[in-house]
Structure 1
């Protein structure tokens, strides 16, 4: 089976709220990336209702681009210098205090320690402050997406304010204050669409996908309320694999055959939703059994590897179906960045590793879940670069505000200047012993009420040191 990857970039021209599962009901926490389900949903929305006739061209197109197992929409992660990032391995930890990791001196590099290695650091450690990492480079780079938060006020339309209705012991809130966390505009995210099948099937899907998707997409929630991302979609040349580049020691891609006794790592680059084959229940820890089973399938039923160490994280995975106007069932998932250290018990061909990376693991693979990459053995310590830029695209400036808004801004600025002047004057007169009477103050105000230049000239003379200066 042939496999082709179609890279694409999404450039945010506006803020985007990509809601994460969980959190307070009156708030929305955003993800640091754009999920593959977002692009898949955009394709489904563009195609519309396929109908019930399975032989119709519209239904076949809908099946090829949305329902088929031979197409996968991978998550769009932040981009660094033309390279797609992935979630950093959870086993990487930094020194807890800046003076211990070298960043206190202004260096744009961070010393990290891999806890899958047998040698442990003597320093106190903490998690990485940067969520994503660019693989395949000689100098791996860390990056955190730029995000912000904004508070909104939902008012009752009749009362004009938020209030609480009390009906006995029951309180009903009318209006609320809620907060949105969002991704800032100007950032670039890169994802991939995986196409599998014969050459003719891949070409048909590729042509249909590019023809159906518009260049401008709205993503996330509150798309009509100043959010929505207003993303610009741009396709790149097709490639044969998800990851490219040799990388560096400790973060190099494992692309060759594995010999018996050789140690390697498997890193989750997207959340994994698994189902225990014995109980039939959702089970994120089934990842271990599934990866060992897939490694053994290539050459007999004997185990091909054993688990040495693991460093896992967990999260809740959900979603929303706009067609049904319902949330998708939530499931406990193994978080992206979870990593395992394995040892090959017999030879494992490189083709087996490549097939696992092409196909993915677990459920909801069409939406980009269950993606993995194989890495070389860990090293005790690494030096990683830090990228603090806001993105490859310049932030889009808002249009000029209307005159009413400018007038409000001037009034607010004037009021703030008056308050600052009053506070400064109050500090100056704190130690005064002889306060001038109101009659004298009135006489002093008279020259100041004329032309601005004349008033400032009088004020400069009074506060000077000449003969006409005011004396205490």
Structure 2
């Protein structure tokens, strides 16, 4: 299959509204629909040719946007760390419900029930979960899109605020795809059209989805490539030797029965209904031009509702039930050639194939069990670097103040825990405060140590008999002065960062705040007396 691939980087949150959530919320799909990409390129075509609307009778317009035999706009799915296009999680994949992927458990065993189900393994099976997958370094990697939830209120467009008009002032929620993520889109072509390439290359900026005037939908087109032989899954030559004949949906599938009704849900999640089998048979016969008899074994499916919005009409599209991406249908083995598999996967099944619906994979995987893992954490920070020296100097000063603020909080917390008992004269405490204040500018703890080492016997006895949390005041002072950071707990919390500049607790700063702690303890002892 010839194809044009390109990546879409979300510079703003993206709202590709689905039919999830309650009436006061808009929940985005986890991917960017092919219909949305096609609509954006059509708008770019209209603007490029200074048209008010497209000429549907034009041969060029038909071949670019409306003929599913010439072109198909596939859904844009998440791009993996290895720059591979991911696919929706297969619904025949199960795990033990007591074991979940997390940072503490980065990989877990998974089982493909469409290949084989071993009784008792796992003991309590549960669907792996919504998301995307790809194979990296021989392991199935699990990816999940990042989302952002924003709260909005309905306002008067003219006044810019809510008024007493009916409906205004209502609170509603957007659950959108978050910014800073990359999705790969694919346009399948019978022949790669240079006009389509020029439309993609015209500008990096592409606006997609709803609420674009409210800070949503700005994406950037990057890494445009053409391919003479592109496959969405493995080469068909590797898929003919399989115990069963399985069809896995790589996108939502819209099917109609012989009476024109939408066919979606089998009688049970583990069975393939006779009407659905008949529809699939007729679709296969139409594409392969061969008499194929399917004998159903089981299925792993889910249903969804498909909708959308037509900007030309200014109206929502009719809601259509469909089989969800990742659904699996298992039939008894049939003889099918690699060329037929390639033809079947290239054309797809069902309706609205031009918008990326009906993408399938035949005999996708043949592993009974495998490991599924989270992607590796990125090694380098995605934060931009501060290159201007003046900006770096300002950022360094800001970090120093932030670090001192954290140390102030640590000092107050430590002081609240200190309980001073015993008799020690105010003159000795004042002398301790005075020496500590003199040592503070340079952070020279030796001045205070010299004081303690040269105390008269009477004064030294007072420091030894006074207790801080059942420990000699004098010994506590020695501990603080010889190990200035010994009183600071959870030192990892004292790391502050702005962009690529980082600041941590150093020995000089620890000495400074140890001297301040000694001054504060002496003052507290005098007040309590």
Alignment CA distance shift 1:174-1:349 (3 Å): same
Alignment CA distance shift 1:396-1:369 (3 Å): farther
Equivalent runs, 1:50-449 vs 2, <5 Å = 59-69=58-68, 70-80=70-80, 81-98=82-99, 103=101, 106-116=104-114, 117-120=116-119, 121-129=121-129, 131-135=131-135, 138-155=138-155, 172-196=166-190, 202-203=191-192, 206-213=193-200, 214-245=203-234, 255-257=238-240, 262-277=243-258, 279-284=259-264, 288-296=277-285, 302-345=291-334, 347-375=335-363, 378-387=366-375, 394=382
Alignment CA distance shift 1:149-1:256 (3 Å): closer
Secondary structure, counterpart of 1:209 in structure 2: helix
Within 2, Cα distance between the matches of 1:15 and 1:8?
19
Structure 2 residue runs without a partner (length 5+): 266-274, 387-397, 420-440, 442-512
Alignment CA distance shift 1:297-1:151 (3 Å): closer
Matching residue of 1:14: 12
Q: Is the radius of gyration larger for structure 1 or structure 2?
A: 2
CA displacement 1:22-77 (0-9 Å, x = unmatched): 4323211111111111110012112225768666xxx3322121111221000110
Residues 13, 148 of structure 2: 8 Å contact kept:
no
Within 2, Cα distance between the matches of 1:155 and 1:77?
34
Alignment CA distance shift 1:239-1:393 (3 Å): farther
CA displacement 1:124-159 (0-9 Å, x = unmatched): 232324511115862221111111212223356899
Matching residue of 1:448: none
| Stretch moving more, 320-329 or 290-299 | 290-299
Equivalent runs, 1:450-469 vs 2, <5 Å = 463-465=520-522, 469=526
Q: Taking structure 1 as the reference length, what is the TM-score of the superposition?
A: 0.73
Matching residue of 2:44: 46
Within 1, Cα distance between the matches of 2:250 and 2:380?
22
Task: Give the count of matched residue pairs.
Answer: 408
Alignment CA distance shift 1:52-1:91 (3 Å): closer
Structure 1 residue runs without a partner (length 5+): 166-171, 197-201, 247-252, 399-409, 432-452
CA displacement 1:220-268 (0-9 Å, x = unmatched): 112122221332243113142323557xxxxxx7745468xx4132110
Secondary structure, counterpart of 2:42 in structure 1: helix
Alignment CA distance shift 1:460-1:188 (3 Å): closer
CA displacement 1:268-322 (0-9 Å, x = unmatched): 0000111112x11222356533333344568876434322110000000011111
Residues 288, 343 of structure 2: 8 Å contact kept:
no
Secondary structure, counterpart of 1:63 in structure 2: helix
Within 2, Cα distance between the matches of 1:308 and 1:76?
32
| Stretch moving more, 330-339 or 182-191 | 182-191
| Stretch moving more, 10-19 or 237-246 | 237-246
Secondary structure, counterpart of 2:527 in structure 1: coil
Within 1, Cα distance between the matches of 2:27 and 2:86?
21
Alignment CA distance shift 1:240-1:467 (3 Å): closer
Within 2, Cα distance between the matches of 1:104 and 1:77?
22
Shift of 1:179: 1.4
Shift of 1:378: 4.6
Secondary structure, counterpart of 1:336 in structure 2: coil
More helix by proportion, 1 or 2? 2
Alignment CA distance shift 1:428-1:133 (3 Å): same
Secondary structure, counterpart of 2:226 in structure 1: coil
Larger RCO (alpha carbons 8 Å, 6+ apart): 1
Q: Taking structure 2 as the reference length, what is the TM-score of the superposition?
A: 0.66
Within 1, Cα distance between the matches of 2:524 and 2:220?
68
| Two-structure CA RMSD over aligned residues (Å) | 4.3
Within 1, Cα distance between the matches of 2:199 and 2:159?
46
Residues 288, 340 of structure 2: 8 Å contact kept:
no
Residues 249, 324 of structure 2: 8 Å contact kept:
yes
Within 1, Cα distance between the matches of 2:302 and 2:157?
44
Residues 6, 239 of structure 1: 8 Å contact kept:
no
Secondary structure, counterpart of 1:465 in structure 2: helix
Within 2, Cα distance between the matches of 1:162 and 1:218?
27
Matching residue of 1:439: none
Shift of 1:162: 6.2
Matching residue of 1:435: none
Alignment CA distance shift 1:370-1:136 (3 Å): farther
Residues 44, 66 of structure 1: 8 Å contact kept:
yes
Shift of 1:389: 5.3
